[in-house]
Structure 1
Amino acid sequence: MFSSTRRRTAGAMIASLAVLGLAACSSEQASTDAGSDSGDTGSAAEETISIGFSQVGAESGWRAANTKSIQDTLTQENGFDLSFSDAQQKQENQIQALRSYIQQGVDVLAFSPVVETGWDAVLEEAKAADIPVILTDRAVDSDDDSLYESFIGSDFVLEGETAGEWAVEQYDGEGYQVVELQGTTGAAPAIDRKAGFETAIEGSDLEIIDSQTGNFTRTEGKQVMEGFLQKYDDIDLVYAHNDDMGLGAIEAIEAAGMVPGEDIKIITVDAVKDGMQALADGKINYIVECNPLLGPDLADVAKKVIAGEAVEKRIVVKDKAFDQEAAVEALPSREY
Structure 2
Amino acid sequence: MAVVALDTQTDPATGVDATYETDNYRAGELIGEWARAKFARNSVEPKVAMIDVSADHITVDVQRHNGFLKGFGIAVKGPKTWEEVSDPRIVAVGVGHIALDESRSTMENLLQANPDINLVYTVNETTAFGAIQAIKAAGLSEQITVVSIDGSCAGIDALKSGMLHATVQQFPKRMAELGVVALVDYVKNGKKPTNAGGKAATDAGTVLITSDTQAGIASIDVAEGQEACF
What range describes the TM-score normalised by the shorter chain of this pair?
0.7 to 0.9
Q: Is the 8 A contact 1:276 1:327 kept in 2?
A: no
Q: Does 1:157 align with 2:25?
A: yes
- Per-residue CA deviations over 1:39-85 (Å, capped at 9, x if unaligned) read xxxxxxxxxxxxxxxxxxxxxxxxxxxxxxxxxxxxxxxxxxxxxxx
How many percent identity over aligned positions?
A: 23
Which of these residues, 106, 119, 124, is aligned with residue 242 of structure 1? Answer: 124
Q: Does 1:316 align with 2:212?
A: no
Structure 2 CA distance, aligned partners of 1:332 and 1:141? 33
Provide closer, same or farther for how the CA distance between residues 186 and 299 of structure 1 changes in structure 2, counting only shifts above 3 A. Answer: same
Amino acid of the residue matched to residue 296 of structure 1? E
* Cα distance, 1:301 vs structure 2: 1.9
* Cα distance, 1:334 vs structure 2: 4.2
What SS is found at the alignment partner of 1:295?
helix
Query: Greater share of helix residues, 1 or 2?
Result: 1
Question: Structure 2-normalised TM-score?
Answer: 0.80
5+ residue gaps, structure 1, are 3-131
Provide closer, same or farther for how the CA distance between residues 227 and 247 of structure 1 changes in structure 2, counting only shifts above 3 A. Answer: same
* Cα distance, 1:303 vs structure 2: 1.7
Provide closer, same or farther for how the CA distance between residues 282 and 136 of structure 1 changes in structure 2, counting only shifts above 3 A. Answer: same
Q: Does 1:302 align with 2:196?
A: no
Q: Is the 8 A contact 2:21 2:203 kept in 1?
A: yes
Amino acid of the residue matched to residue 318 of structure 1? G
Aligned residue runs from structure 1 range 24-43, under 5 A: none
Which of these residues, 265, 270, 281, is aligned with residue 150 of structure 2? Answer: 270
Q: Does 1:220 align with 2:88?
A: no
Aligned Cα RMSD in Å? 2.2
Amino acid of the residue matched to residue 208 of structure 2? A
Between the two proteins, the alignment pairs up a number of residues equal to 202
Structure 2 CA distance, aligned partners of 1:305 and 1:186? 34
Q: Does 1:200 align with 2:80?
A: no
Q: Does 1:233 align with 2:104?
A: no
Amino acid of the residue matched to residue 316 of structure 1? D
**Matched residue, 2:61:** 190
* Cα distance, 1:268 vs structure 2: 0.5
Q: Does 1:140 align with 2:10?
A: yes
Stretch deviating more after TM superposition (188-197 or 169-178): 169-178
Amino acid of the residue matched to residue 26 of structure 2? L
Q: Is the 8 A contact 2:7 2:20 kept in 1?
A: yes
Aligned residue runs from structure 1 range 66-77, under 5 A: none
Structure 1 CA distance, aligned partners of 2:226 and 2:114? 38
Amino acid of the residue matched to residue 178 of structure 1? V
Question: Structure 1-normalised TM-score?
Answer: 0.56
What SS is found at the alignment partner of 1:320?
strand
Amino acid of the residue matched to residue 102 of structure 2? E
Aligned residue runs from structure 1 range 60-139, under 5 A: 132-139=2-9
Amino acid of the residue matched to residue 209 of structure 1? V
Stretch deviating more after TM superposition (296-305 or 285-294): 296-305
Q: Is the 8 A contact 1:175 1:206 kept in 2?
A: no
- Per-residue CA deviations over 1:133-170 (Å, capped at 9, x if unaligned) read 2111111222x71x311101011110111111111111
Q: Is the 8 A contact 1:288 1:319 kept in 2?
A: yes
Q: Does 1:256 align with 2:143?
A: no
**Greater length-normalized contact order (CA 8 Å, ≥ 6 residues apart):** 2
Amino acid of the residue matched to residue 322 of structure 1? I
**Matched residue, 1:168:** 36
5+ residue gaps, structure 2, are 76-86, 196-200, 213-219
Amino acid of the residue matched to residue 225 of structure 1? M
- Per-residue CA deviations over 1:212-245 (Å, capped at 9, x if unaligned) read 2212232222121111111111101000011111
